[in-house]
Amino acid sequence: MTTVDLPLLPLGRGVDLNSERGVECPGDLPPASDPDLVARATAAKAALGDKVFILGHHYQRDEVIQFADVTGDSFKLARDAAARPDAEYIVFCGVHFMAESADILTTDDQAVVLPDLAAGCSMADMAVLGQVEAAWKALEDAGVADQVVPVTYMNSSADIKAFCGRHGGVVCTSSNAQTVMEWAFERGSKVLFLPDQHLGRNTAVLKLGIPLDKNVVWNPRKPNGGLTAEEIQDATVILWQGHCSVHGRFSPDTVDALRAEIPGINILVHPECQHEVVLKADLVGSTEFIIQTIEAAPAGSAWAIGTELNLVKRLAAAHPDKRVMFLDKTVCYCSTMNRIDLPHLVWTLESLAAGHLVNQITVDAQTAADAQTALQRMLDLPGKTERD
Ligand code: SF4
């Protein structure tokens, strides 16, 4: 019986340096009411010139996105950063695990900067290395570890990616999860899927045809994950009990209500949504898939989208000829993504322009090498690797 009782680090709090960081911004932030914030960010960015490359995740606020040199999902942005080795500073407007991935994929001469160190990811925080090592020990005790291939979603800490690299495992994104899982099943009879149970379940059941009851959930806060040795031995997929606090909110009831209210509406959701929501949706796919679907949709069509609200609002504004709405009754931004705001960006850019390197995100060499192993196994697979 093994368990590690590590608390989930709530937003911006906690000091487990092996997980998503949650510390205070060390600098003097300009007040949000400063009317010159846009001018200050523009001036600082211009002063830095080609020395800085600003990445903006799709879920970022408009006030931040306007300064991004490139926008995209986490993996695309990390690769975009790697394609700019001349940029001394990579300012990542996203969350901590994304900045880690960018640090792994960029050169030692480049510094990756996160404007607010408290911008973690609640999903990534749900799988801490000590917990995963305890789970692996339980799999060994159950006599199945040598049959298990660990697969981690891009949305995980560098520690977890490195764990997968050390144990014959691999990284996946939301668009290649099926290909990656098939690769894993060519190498073992079981998959340990981290940290998003919903992406794991949706892929296993809907893409690979694995029966729902062959998916079990490992609860890191329960002894032996809350599972018996027999349940572990009988399972095909062991899903880590993690989820996205944003995508996990969408409910099947809302889908039913919208269909009743707006006949012909299309329900388009991200695979981080609950299985019951995905089952009721018309289309499911990554953020890039969602963007492309709306771009290609005919004028006059109606869409309810189950993903982060900043992106949905931008899509609605960009496509006034279509009816684009949010698949939830209440406002639901990613609160950690939203920690990156204009004051933090101004502070970051002005600090860098003044020669002060702030909020650098670094991954130690061994962890980076092991994580790179897991990433490379994904990159070597045929098909799409972008999008999440
Ligand atoms: S949207 Fe979900 S998975 Fe993405 S950063 Fe926010 S909490 Fe993490």
Q: 334 in ligand 1 pocket by Cβ < 6 Å?
A: yes
Confidence of residue 298 (pLDDT cuts 50, 70, 90): very high
Residues of the chain with CATH 3.40.50.10800: 37-121+338-364, 247-326
CB 387 within 8 A of CB 286: yes
Residue pair 160/152 in contact (Cβ under 8 Å)? The answer is: yes
Rg (CA), the chain: 21
Ligand 1 geometric centre to CA of 219 (Å): 20
Judge whether residue 8 has pLDDT over 60: no
Instruction: Give me the long-range contacts of 211-216 (CB less than 8 A, separation at least 24).
Output: 211/236, 212/275, 215/239
Q: What is the CATH number of domain 37-121+338-364?
A: 3.40.50.10800
Q: How far is the CA of 130 from the centre of ligand 1 (A)?
A: 22
pLDDT at 221 over 60: yes
Ligand 1 lined by 246 (C-beta under 6 Å) = yes
Q: Looking at ligand 1, which atom is closest to the CA of residue 336?
A: 6
The answer to whether residues 77 and 98 touch, using CB atoms and an 8 Å cutoff, is yes
95 lines ligand 1 (CB under 6 A): yes
| Token pair 């640090």 in the structure block, residue | 103
Give the right CATH number for 124-244+370-379 from 2.40.128, 3.40.50, 1.20.1070, 3.40.630: 3.40.50
Q: Do you know the residue count of the chain?
A: 388
State the angle between helix axes of 158-166 and 365-379 in degrees (0 to 180), rounded to the nearest 10: 70
Contacts of 348 (CB under 8 A, 6+ apart): 91, 113, 115, 358, 359
Encoding tokens for residue 343? 């004051």
The mean predicted confidence, pLDDT, of the chain is: 90
Of 158, 182, 97, the residue nearest 378 (C-alpha): 182
- The verdict on the CB of residue 373 being under 6 Å from ligand 1 is no
Of all residues in the chain, the percent with pLDDT exceeding 90 is: 81
Lowest mean pLDDT among 113-122, 210-219, 261-270: 113-122
Whether the CB of 155 sits within 6 Å of ligand 1: yes
Tell me the per-residue pLDDT of 79-102, one tens digit each, with 9 for 90 and over.
888 899 999 999 999 999 999 999
Domain 247-326, CATH number (from 3.40.50.10800, 3.40.47.10, 3.30.830.10, 3.40.50.150): 3.40.50.10800
Model confidence pLDDT, tens digit, residues 155-167: 999 999 999 999 9
**C-alpha–C-alpha distance, residues 100 and 239, integer Å:** 24
Ligand 1 in contact with 60 (CB < 6 A)? no
8 Å CB contact between 280 and 265: no
pTM for the structure as a whole: 0.90
Ligand 1 pocket test, candidate residues 273, 308, 336, most atoms within 8 A of CB: 336
